[in-house]
Amino acid sequence: MKDEILSNLDNPGQLERLYRTDKQTFRRAFKTLYPEIQDSPLAGFWHARLNLAQEEISWGSAKDLTYVIGASILVAFIAKLPVMFDLNTDFFFSRNIGFIVFPVLSAYFAWKNKLSVATIAFMAVVMLAALVFINTLPDQKGSDTLVLSCIHLVLFLWAILGFAFVGSKGNNVEKRLGYLKYNGDLVVMTTLILISGGIMTGLTINLFSLIGFQIEKFYFEYIVISGLSAAPIVGTYLTQTNPQLVGKVSPVIARIFSPLVLVMLATYLVAIIYARKDPYNDREFLLIFNGLLVGVMAIIFFSIAETSRTAKSRLTTGILFSLSVLTIIVNGIALSAILFRISEWGVTPNRAAVLGGNVLILINLLLVTWQLFRVLSKKTSITEVGKTIAYYLPVYILWSIIVVFLFPLIFGFR
């Protein structure tokens, strides 16, 4: 997109077509380029146009609203299937939680990006195959491969959603980073929706209780479950039709939390030594340790996705570099603990999955940290860090496919 903008600075019509084709990517690319092209009169016009604050919230077209309302009703219906058909709730939700929302969101972006019929059919077949596979796995109590498949299936469905989001521009770095940004914005917007829903729930239940109606059971079984299912749909719609709602909030959150997480992680590593915690023999602590690793890594990647298109200060880059180094240390401890447990007690599905995930994360972190170091050394730009993350994403997708579909077969469903 950047190259297309630069090559059409004297072509207003083509710039308009580029903007209408992909408004989000155009905005990000233009914002990054503007310091270089601000002397151009046409660039000045576009800067004013894109930065004009939108005073009112856009609710989109009637067709968009119809889709969102219909999709919200559909996901609420899917979430209530166990009650309507007397299904085992543990069986249903453990295997199908991702199918409540991801197919509908994928359909939304496939529609908005005008994907071809062949592409949509491919996505549908893949999702259907995953649905059949996960629901036909043996229902064995204590099956580690079943649990791993269910967990990694969510990552697999997230990848399909990303495929629908980037559309025909799957190799476009900006679109891939845009997908990461969308996820961050969605978390912010969905959290706000859920907080508002929680306040409304409390008020509604208490108001009805004052006049003698105890509606808690009905409200939670129908209204709350439906609202939880529909929240990501509504959040997606709002972030896509009104990017200004969280467009300025997400970078602020990224800037605030990056140094806070850095301090927390450094303090935590010192506290581990002081408390003499042993991840090598304490299985529960090792699981929490790996959860911390994934969470911090997600914060790093989201922060870089924001930084690559906004802030370019050395302080921000330095904080991200320090956080990446500390995360590598955490990863190294977790990886050595997994290798120790495998050498002592052998390979199990859980240990194999954690080992593979930790190795992939370590490689990714090393690549990102190296690029951040080069940015600090003024040998490259922050956009190269974003490219490193974007190009590595398919590796995680491939690993999720291996764990979901091959682990149950490799380990005999145990």
Helical residues (DSSP H) of 276-376, grouped into ranges: 283-307, 314-345, 349-376
| DSSP string for residues in 121-174 | HHHHHHHHHHHHHHHHS---TT-HHHHHHHHHHHHHHHHHHHHHHHTT-TT-HH
> What does the pLDDT read at residue 398?
95
> What does the pLDDT read at residue 310?
53
Given the structure tokens 């990647």, which residue do they identify?
A: 301
Q: Would you say residue 82 has pLDDT above 80? A: yes
Q: What is the mean pLDDT of residues 224-252?
A: 83
Report how far apart, in Å, the C-alpha atoms of 337 and of each of 4, 101, 151, 312, 363 are.
Answer: 49, 36, 22, 37, 17
Q: Two tokens at 83?
A: 């009650």
Cα–Cα distance for residue pair 188/176, rounded to 1 Å: 19
Q: Would you say residue 249 has pLDDT above 80? A: no
Q: Which amino acid is at 213?
A: F
If one compares 169 and 208, the residue with the highest pLDDT of the two is 208
Q: List pLDDT tens digits, range 114-141.
A: 899 999 999 999 999 999 999 999 988 8
If one compares 108 and 41, the residue with the highest pLDDT of the two is 108
Backbone angles phi, psi at 12, to 5 degrees: -55, -40
Q: Two tokens at 259?
A: 């140094």
pLDDT band with cut points at 50, 70 and 90 for residue 247: low
Q: What is the mean pLDDT of residues 269-273?
A: 84
pLDDT band with cut points at 50, 70 and 90 for residue 268: confident
Cα–Cα distance for residue pair 196/190, rounded to 1 Å: 10
Share of the chain above pLDDT 70, in %: 94
List the chain domain ranges.
Answer: 2-51, 62-244, 248-410
Cα–Cα distance for residue pair 63/330, rounded to 1 Å: 48
> What does the pLDDT read at residue 170?
61
> What does the pLDDT read at residue 52?
64
Q: Which amino acid is at 227?
A: G
The DSSP secondary-structure symbol of 54 reads P
Q: List pLDDT tens digits, range 53-63.
A: 555 566 767 88
> What does the pLDDT read at residue 97?
93
Q: Would you say residue 316 has pLDDT above 60? A: yes
- Average per-residue pLDDT for the chain: 86
Cα–Cα distance for residue pair 325/305, rounded to 1 Å: 18
pLDDT band with cut points at 50, 70 and 90 for residue 413: confident
> What does the pLDDT read at residue 34?
78
Q: What is the mean pLDDT of residues 100-119?
A: 92
CB under 8 Å to 30, separation ≥6 — which residues? 5, 46, 47, 50
Q: List pLDDT tens digits, range 278-298.
A: 777 777 777 887 888 888 888
> What does the pLDDT read at residue 300?
81
Cα–Cα distance for residue pair 213/211, rounded to 1 Å: 6
Share of the chain above pLDDT 90, in %: 37
Q: List pLDDT tens digits, range 16-52.
A: 877 877 776 787 778 777 777 877 878 888 877 777 6
Contact in structure between 152 and 400 (CB atoms under 8 Å): yes
> What does the pLDDT read at residue 309?
56
> What does the pLDDT read at residue 172?
76
Q: Would you say residue 65 has pLDDT above 90? A: no
Q: List pLDDT tens digits, range 156-185.
A: 999 999 999 988 766 778 788 888 888 888
Helices (H) and strands (E) in the chain, counts: 19, 0
